[in-house]
Amino acid sequence: MTKTKELNSKATHLLQRNEGIPFNTAFFDHININKSAVERRAATLPNRRTVKKEWQAAWLLKAISCMDLTTLAGDDTRGNVTRLCAKARSPVRLDLLEAMGMADVNLHTGAVCVYHNLIPFAKEALEGSGIPIAAVSTGFPAGKISFEEKIREIELSVAAGATEIDIVISRDLVLESKWKALYDEVAACRKACGAAHMKTILATGEIPTYTKVAKASWVSMMAGSDFIKTSTGKESVNATLPVSLVMIRAIRAYYELTGFKVGFKPAGGIQKAKQALDWLILMKEELGDEWLNPELFRFGASSLLGDIERQLEHFVTGRYSAGYRHPMA
């Protein structure tokens, strides 16, 4: 299997950050998304583009390098986080990597994502690995805390060692089209993040139209978001290909306007290797190869890694293994 230099992220972010632009409704007032066209385009992807054999294995390894390996359960403990970090450092069994000629590439996930109180345990477990620590913040998942509490929570997570912050927006501001208030909120969160990269979660399952998703994407990017993210994973509807298409095209238009590359993170409900391939194909077709790296694309996932590892074992051995043969995340 051909090795690629881009497989893993570096210990530090290399891309120019999105500095944001002044609020101006002229950039998004005209947006009116054609729901049927978006869903028709998204529906073509799983059937029109497929990758097989060694190419599929290579794409799945790429998916691992773009994964925010996540635990956001109410019963999380230090042991859970330590195990998660061990899996992030060594996401695929060594014998499988050796069989694919990939044992020396230092494959690891794009980041580990945890609650604020678990950051110290993740920091200890990831020491020396270069793997970023992402922390959910601002009253995740509902965001129903005061503005002052949101800012303080961000500052505390950064001080504890988080290098990426996943914030949630106040959904009522989107529902009521209070775009300037949303801009001000996200911009203040960006300032509080300091050097930590900020991913802005739109919670698209709670936004009623694609048009509002597109406008919320624009406002979040204008306010300085380094990534825009579909979901918390706690909504009844999480990442879907149609809503991802809307957000990705907003990213493309923002880049064409400003020259800033904003990342994209689908999260929630992506559990199978085939789904990961669908999103990678969507990114490649809509934004190109330069977005297919952990600096600009992440999966929010917990159970996805297990299925990818099973698919890689099938590629190597021709047989599907039981889940217990692979170390748990």
- Say how many C-beta atoms besides its own lie within 10 A of residue 240's C-beta: 18
Catalytic residue among 212, 265, 278, 307: 265
Active site annotation includes 229 = yes
Structure tokens at 174: 């989107």
Q: Which H or E run contains 112?
A: strand 111-114
Which residue pairs, CB below 8 angstroms and at least 24 apart, start in 177-184?
177/212, 177/215, 179/23, 179/25, 179/28, 179/215, 179/219, 180/23, 182/216, 182/219, 182/220, 182/223, 183/23, 183/219, 183/222, 183/223, 184/223
DSSP conformation letters of 33-46: --HHHHHHHHHHHH
Three-class SS state of 60 = helix
Catalytic residue among 62, 123, 150, 166: 166
Q: Is the dihedral of CA 92, 94, 99, 104 positive or negative?
A: positive
Active site annotation includes 215 = no
Q: Is the dihedral of CA 55, 264, 84, 233 positive or negative?
A: negative
Active site annotation includes 150 = no
Catalytic residue among 229, 261, 278, 307: 229
Q: Is the dihedral of CA 76, 126, 297, 27 positive or negative?
A: positive
Helix, strand, coil percentages for the chain (3-state, nearest 5): 50, 10, 40
Question: Catalytic residues, which ones?
Answer: 166, 229, 265
